[in-house]
Structure 1
Amino acid sequence: MTLILFTQIFVGLALVFTVAAFGWRLRLFNALARPVDRSTPKGNPRLGILYAFTLGMAPWAKESTRRHGIAYLRGVAFHLGIFLVLGILILSPWLYLLPVTWRTLLALGAALGALLGLAGFIARFAEHNLKALSTPDDYTAVLVVSLFQASAGLWLVYAPALPLFYIVSAIMLVYAPFSKIRHCIYYAYSRLFFGKFVGSRAVLPHSQQGAR
Structure 2
Amino acid sequence: MGIWGWVVAGAFAGTVAGLGRHLAILLGRAYRPERAGAMGSPAQGVLYAFTWGMMPWAKESTRLHLLAYLRGVVFHIGIGAAFLALLVSPWRAQMAPALRWGLVALTAVGGLAGFAGLVARIAEARLRTLSTPDDFFSVTLVSLFTLAAGAAWVVPPLLPVFYVLAVATLLYIPF
TM superposition score normalised by structure 1: 0.77
Structure possessing the higher relative contact order (Cα contacts under 8 Å, 6 or more residues apart): 1
Q: Please give the root-mean-square deviation of Cα atoms over the aligned residues, in Å.
A: 1.8
* Counterpart position of 1:162: 159
Q: Does 1:171 align with 2:148?
A: no
Following TM superposition, where does structure 1 have runs of at least 4 consecutive aligned residues deviating by more than 6 angstroms?
A: none
* Pair 1:103–1:50, CA change in 2 (3 A): same
- Letter aligned with residue 164 of structure 1: V
* Pair 1:100–1:6, CA change in 2 (3 A): same
* Alignment partners' CA distance in 2, 1:75 and 1:38: 32
* Alignment partners' CA distance in 1, 2:139 and 2:35: 41
Unaligned regions of 5+ residues in structure 1, if any? 179-212
* Counterpart position of 1:103: 100
Larger Rg over CA atoms: 1
Residues 5-33 of structure 1 deviation map (CA, whole Å, 9 limit, x = unaligned): 22222111111000110011011111212
* Counterpart position of 2:141: 144
Check conservation: 2:78, 2:109, Cα contact below 8 A. Answer: yes
- Letter aligned with residue 123 of structure 1: A
Q: Percent of counterpart pairs with the same letter?
A: 45
* Alignment partners' CA distance in 2, 1:95 and 1:103: 7
TM superposition score normalised by structure 2: 0.92
* Alignment partners' CA distance in 1, 2:152 and 2:64: 37
Check conservation: 2:77, 2:106, Cα contact below 8 A. Answer: no
* Alignment partners' CA distance in 1, 2:173 and 2:17: 12
Aligned residue for 2:173, secondary structure, equals helix
